[in-house]
Structure 1
Amino acid sequence: MVPVIAPELATARLRLPLWSAADVEAIRGGAHLPGWHPQFPREDDRDAATLWHDGDPWSSRSVTVDGVTVGSIGFFGPPQPAADGAPEVEVGYGLVEDARGRGYATEALTAMVAAAEAEGARLRASVLPGNAASIRVLAKCGFTELRGSTEDGELVMVRPRAVRPAPAPA
C-alpha cells in the first residue's frame, strides 16, 4: 500500500511538517534555527531525531504555531503487527513549556490519529504515570485501553481501531 500520509498535516491552528535533513542536523547538533521557539529543541526532540528517516511519513514532524516551532510529534516508524496481528504504530509528542495548556498537543495528536487510521493502523503511546497532562491528551484522543507498562515504568495506552461498517451489498 502506498502511504497517503501527507508530508505536511494541518489543523485549524497548527502546521505539522515532516522534519527536513536541515532540521534534524540542527537538532542533533544543538543548533537553533530561525522560526524555532527559544525552548526548542527539548531533550525528547533530540531523542526523536535518532529515529528520523528522510521523507518517511511515519517519522517526526514539527508542531508549528503561527510560523514558530513549539514542539514535535511523530510516529516511531511504520506500523508493525501487534500481538493480535493488527497493524500498530507508536506515537510520541511534546511541546515547549510556553506552549502547554493551550490544546496544541490534543489538536496535533488528533491529526496524527486521523492520518494513521486512514492507513488502517491502530495507535499506542507510552506515558509516565505522573504525567497527568499527557494522559488527559491521550484520553481526549480516544486512547482508552491500558496495556500494561514498559520496562521504564511508562504506561502503554492504546487507541482501539475504529470499527468500520461493512460495505453495503451491491
Structure 2
Amino acid sequence: MDDVVTERLLLHPMTIGEAERLLAGEPDGGDRWAPGYPTEGDASAAGRFLGTCADTGDPHPFGNYEIRLREDGRAIGGIGFHGPADAHGSVTIGYGLVPSARGSGYASEALRALLLLARSRGITRVKGDADHDNTASHHVMTAAGMRPAGQDERVRYFEITWPDPTTAPADPYP
C-alpha cells in the first residue's frame, strides 16, 4: 500500500518488519526518527498491529501508519485504526505525536487524511476517544470534523458519520 500524502505529511503504512523494529527500538537504516519516537503509544499500537497480523493477517488499509514529515521523512508519531471495520461499517482510530511535533496542526492534518481514507473505503462511522483532561486531543478530533458523542468517568468520545459512503465530501477537510 502506498503512503497517504498530505500537504506536510506522509502517512506511511506500517509493515510487520517496521513494527518489529519499532518495538525493538531499532530504526532501519533508512528510517529517521524524531527525538522521543517511538512513544509508549506507538509501541502499544505496533504490538496491537502485530497481534492482528498474526491472528487474521495484515489489516491494511485499516492498520497503523507512521506519521512522517514530507520535508525530511522523519517519523514524528503514529496514527491508525484499532482494527478492521465492524459489521456496521464502523472503525476506531488513535493517534499521537512526539512532544516536539505537537501544536503545529500535524495531528489534525493526519486525522483528516485518515478520515478521508476511511470514507473512501466505505466506512460509515469513525470513533475516537480521549481522556477528559486531554483537551488538545479533543481539539484535534473536532478540527478534523469529529463531534462529541458522549463520555464516561474517564474519557470523552468523538465520532463522525456519513450516511452514504459513496458520496465524496464537498470539502475534503470538514
Q: TM-score, normalised by structure 1?
A: 0.83
1:68 is aligned to 74
Amino acid at match of 1:101: G
Q: Residues 75-126 of structure 1, C-alpha deviation per residue, up to 9 Å, x if partnerless?
A: 0111113xxxx31100110000000011100100000000101122110001
1:131 is aligned to 134
Structure 2 SS opposite 1:64: strand
Question: Is 2:120–2:166's contact at 8 Å kept on the other side of the alignment?
Answer: no
Mapped to 2, the partners of 1:112 and 1:48 lie a distance apart of 16
Question: Is 2:77–2:96's contact at 8 Å kept on the other side of the alignment?
Answer: yes
Mapped to 2, the partners of 1:40 and 1:133 lie a distance apart of 19
Structure 1 SS opposite 2:4: strand
Unpaired runs of 5+ residues, structure 2, are 168-174
> 1:15 pairs with 5, 10, 25, which one?
10
CA RMSD of aligned residues (A): 2.1
Amino acid at match of 1:60: N
Question: Is 2:119–2:165's contact at 8 Å kept on the other side of the alignment?
Answer: no
Question: Is 1:144–1:160's contact at 8 Å kept on the other side of the alignment?
Answer: no
Amino acid at match of 1:36: W
1:94 is aligned to 96
> 2:38 pairs with 38, 41, 44, which one?
41
Mapped to 1, the partners of 2:74 and 2:11 lie a distance apart of 11
> 2:121 pairs with 94, 119, 122, which one?
119
After TM superposition, what 4+ stretches of structure 1 lie above 6 angstroms from structure 2? none
Q: 1:164 to 1:42 in 2, by over 3 A?
A: closer
Mapped to 2, the partners of 1:141 and 1:19 lie a distance apart of 22
Structure 1 SS opposite 2:119: helix
> 1:147 pairs with 142, 150, 154, which one?
150
Mapped to 1, the partners of 2:81 and 2:59 lie a distance apart of 13
Higher helix share: 2
How far apart are 1:165 and its partner, in Å?
A: 9.2
Identity %: 30
Mapped to 1, the partners of 2:114 and 2:158 lie a distance apart of 15
2:171 is aligned to none
Question: Is 1:7–1:55's contact at 8 Å kept on the other side of the alignment?
Answer: no
1:3 is aligned to none
- The question of 1:25 aligning with 2:20 is answered yes
Q: 1:102 to 1:78 in 2, by over 3 A?
A: same
Q: How many residues align?
A: 155
